[in-house]
Amino acid sequence: MKRILALALGATALTAAPAFAQDVTITNARLVLGDGGAPIEGGTVVVRGGSVVYAGPAGGAPASGTSVDAGGAWVTPGLFATVTTLGLADVSAVGETNDITAGDSPFSAALDASTAINPTSQHILVHRAAGITRAATTTMPSGSIFAGQGAIIDLDGDTNAVMQARAFQMINLGEGGADRAGGSRVAAYALLSAAMREAQALVGKAGIPETTEIGKDDEVLLSRFDAEALVPVVTGRQKLYVAVERAADIRAVLALKAQYPRLDMVLVGATEGWLVAREIAAAGVPVIANALNDLPETFEQLGATQSNAGRLAAAGVKVALNASTLRDPRRLQQAAGNLVALTRMPGASGMDWGKAFAAISSVPADISGMGGKAGVLKAGALGDVVMWDGDPLEVGSVPTRVFIGGVEQSLENHQTGLRDRYIDLDESDRPKAYDW
Amino acid sequence: MLSHVKERARIGAFATLVSALALSACATTGSAGDTGKADMMDGKDKAFAATAAGEPVFPSTYKPFPNIATALKGATIYDGKGGTIENGVVFMAGGKIVAVGGPDTPIPADIAVFDGTGKFVTPGIIDIHSHLGDYPSPGVEAHSDGNEATSPTTPEVWAEHSVWPQDPGFSRALANGGITSLQILPGSANLMGGRSVTLKNIPARTVQGMKFPGAPYGFKMACGENPKRVYGGRGRAPSTRMGNFAVNRETWLGAIDYANDDKAKRDLGKETLVGVLKGDILVHNHCYRADEMALVMDMAKEMGYKVSAFHHAVEAYKIGDLLKENDVCSAIWADWYGFKMESYDGIMENAAFLQREGACVVIHSDDQDDIQRLNQEAAKAQKAGLRLGINIPDAAVIQWITYNAAKAMGIEDMTGSLEVGKMADVVLWNGNPLSVYSRPEKVWVDGALMYDALNPKTRPVSDFELGQPGEGDVK
């Protein structure tokens, strides 16, 4: 873990503090720290050298660099979107642009999302304009139960989006994994067990991995390179994100800790988590929860309710919101806002505003190994600051200014180009193609 | 009438004796009062016959549930047609809206009165594009009944024959979305997907128990990528956009021939197409790209029909003037973009730019989750306009998901706005419905209180959910 963190900070230093980083002091803000607390009226943020040096009530620190009067506007840390595919596809239905899945590849756990992230993907530009400054992005399970290794990225659109490559491995141990393992959960667990044993056998060994390839017909379910990629998982140096929905499946996953004590697990989805909330809390396993699923869309989601995240949090589970079951990650703000709405509904469980905001900022950052660095405004954090035109959890609110690592970002993209062109339909002088 | 129709249905399928052109003007889902023909079993020449074409079949059995005269006082009212009344009164009785007005609106003394102070009232929300029941939850293969995509044109299929009334999605749409009416459309893999059905969002044992009495049928068509991909992939036409148009035009010409042929055998598909040509069945055309919508409108002119609404009209903003001129609504998402090539130019300003041109905007879901938040989707689109100085009042935004949807579905004389004599389809919200923080508190359908957030026993539980984890839970 230490090694990976060191690498991450090294990468950060490269990407987040270029010559363009500006020192800036934002005052008179409705300031959200991202730590779960309530907004601070009239707050101040000071960013110096690409990092936050102060965030809190006015007068707590000397001003530095350019002064910005927020005029009472909401100012927050950048949102941290977790379990996204940002940068891995241009148009998901256009196969040649899509690096999210690779069902025909013989590799699974060995897949490394960081090799293919496009830092100037339109989805990255669009989501940056929605206030998301960092994200966990990953390939998705296709040929096997293992999705491959996800990366932590920034959305600043410079030459290198990757802050931390191979930050986590993801595996599906629900219906999806069962299907990919050959047709049953039993098969998925057998494959997992075999994979972990192969990986264990490779711990401490260098050179070409010598393990048995596991295949079925002409498909490879686990190659020796996949086994090697799982070494950091069995040794606890790389997090294992487990996509799982059903209460019984969650229990089975939690039980893996007894078998593999060094596993550093995170549950993803966990639609029926509320049924086993105390067990999850006791295991100390964080959850990247589906926020708004309330339909028995599959038999592993029979108990689906929008109150799941709130109930998990109330039981003491660390809860971030899952971007992968939303239409797009930019809907995280809406999902969090809906959790606040639930606090007003009799019988429902939601989150108060501060906790809901933290569930899309500091908590997912913390789960991603970026605790204290991303999704939060405090001394020492990355200089990711967003100023909004309204309540950031209200539908339709958008950033007016976005800083990533102290660098002010362009909010332009393909969509804003279209917006500006079609602000009217006037073609009396020339066709629209000349209007840009 | 019901027993009559049941008897007819049993009689059989020798339809050739019945003129295919007996397509009366009644291409509706039917309601009480329809009359049948004389029994053809009588007489010397015994003959079998189905119910004549155009006469109501699978008629609605929906009846409003018992309701008590109710008034909502003190709320902000968005009437569905762009009007706002502060501190208003809505009075409903006998399943109908009896009065709507300001604080002085008289109401009888002995009725149920709810204090709406700080709350908001809208007409029941209407989703013009849903697949609930046809692609129900759980979304297993055995439930995948939404698209008879075995041929590029299947005008003969009717979505209502696939609706599973036990889909738990209906109840979520009611409780979280305030949905009181919705149109269930066939899927978009083929050019002509079949007839849609409009439902009241009422739990029922049969689809007939949900059918919106008197609603016209819709007809689902689809442009663009889906049909050419699906059939091109099977090595048959259409495999291109020009193939899409060729197959469509040939099919319309066949329908015109059929309509002009007194001796033609009954043909279910052509009956639907002729219903479209006569204006009794409304066309709902899935179409993303602006250039294709323009071509479809010209095809409609060529063949003599009208498009009621383009659905998923992601690029409608590029031709708002043309859509206005042709009086075609655009049923759109607020923020879906970039998931397929024809959605690449999706922008949040789509609705606002259409509104700027005076074109008809409808916000739709096409999704079992988004149908629970059409109000929030509409709010996103509103704010995108506001940022550019296009200020669309809240009440006009609510019209996108009430009256405009009703208009494009042909039910605007019955529901979609709070006007005297209309169905008492009403939602009381616990805050401004254009805020993420607001939810329906109470939902009335035809004056009957079908959901009350304050009373757990009013959460509908489908048969499927009984005895399962979370039965009756808040959802």
DSSP A186-236: HHHHHHHHHHHHHHHHHTT--SS-----EEETTEEEE-HHHHHHTHHHHTT
Nearest Cβ partner for A422 among B139, B318, B348: B318
Q: How far is CA A407 from CA A17, A29, A271, A416, in A?
A: 8, 19, 38, 20
For chains A and B, CB pairs below 8 A equal 153
How far apart are the two ends of chain A, measured CA to CA in Å? Answer: 48
Q: State the best of A100, A122, A275, A295 to mutate against chain B, taking most chain B CBs within 10 Å.
A: A295
Q: What are phi and psi of A46, to 5 degrees?
A: -120, 125
Q: State the best of B289, B312, B335, B353 to mutate against chain A, taking most chain A CBs within 10 Å.
A: B335
What pairing do the DSSP bridges indicate for beta strands B307-311 and B329-332? parallel
Q: What is the DSSP letter of A174?
A: S
A332-342 and B374-386 helices cross at what angle (nearest 10)? 130
Q: Report yes or no: B375 and B177 within 8 Å, Cβ to Cβ.
A: yes
ipTM of the complex as predicted: 0.94
CA angle A122, A124, A126 (to 5 degrees): 65
Distance of CA A28 to the CA centre of its chain: 30
For residue B459, the chain A residue with the least C-alpha distance is A347
Residue A382 DSSP SS3: strand
* B318: chain A residues, CB-CB within 8 Å: 422, 425
Position B28 pLDDT exceeds 80:
no
How does residue A16 score in pLDDT terms, banded at 50, 70 and 90?
very low
How does residue B192 score in pLDDT terms, banded at 50, 70 and 90?
very high
For residue B171, the chain A residue with the least C-alpha distance is A295
For residue A399, the chain B residue with the least C-alpha distance is B387
Position A11 pLDDT exceeds 50:
no
Q: Closest Cα partner for A24 from A48, A56, A58, A55? A: A48
Q: Which CATH architecture best describes the domain B124-417? A: Alpha-Beta Barrel (3.20)
A310 inside 8 A of chain B by CB: no
What pairing do the DSSP bridges indicate for beta strands A399-404 and B112-115? unpaired
* B380: chain A residues, CB-CB within 8 Å: 334, 395-396
Task: Say how far apart CA A50 and CA A35 lie, in whole Å.
Answer: 20
| pLDDT tens digits for range A19-28 | 478 899 999 9
Q: What is the DSSP letter of B52?
A: P
Q: What are phi and psi of B385, to 5 degrees?
A: -70, -45
User: Which whole number is the average pLDDT over B274-283?
Assistant: 98
* A398: chain B residues, CB-CB within 8 Å: 383, 387
**429-468 in chain B: CB under 8 A from chain A:** 430-431, 434-439, 453-454, 456, 464-465, 468
* B368: chain A residues, CB-CB within 8 Å: 295, 297
Q: Closest approach of chain B CAs to the CA of A78, in angstroms?
A: 20
> What's the one-letter identity of residue A223?
S
Q: Closest Cα partner for A152 from A242, A229, A87, A234? A: A87
Q: Report yes or no: B128 and B332 within 8 Å, Cβ to Cβ.
A: no
Least confident of A419-423, B14-18, B124-128, B357-361: B14-18
Position A9 pLDDT exceeds 50:
no
Note the pLDDT of residue B99: 98
> What's the one-letter identity of residue A84?
T
CB–CB contact A395 B383 (8 Å): yes
Domain edges within chain B: 2-52, 124-417
| pLDDT tens digits for range B202-242 | 999 999 999 999 999 999 999 999 999 999 999 999 999 99
CB–CB contact B469 A303 (8 Å): yes
DSSP bridge pairs for B444: B426, B449
In order of start, what are the domains of chain A with their CATH numbers?
79-368 (3.20.20.140)
How does residue B409 score in pLDDT terms, banded at 50, 70 and 90?
very high
CB–CB contact B469 A94 (8 Å): no
- Taking the CA atoms of residue B208, residue B213, residue B219 and residue B222 in that order, the dihedral angle to the nearest 10 degrees is -80
Distance of CA B259 to the CA centre of its chain: 27
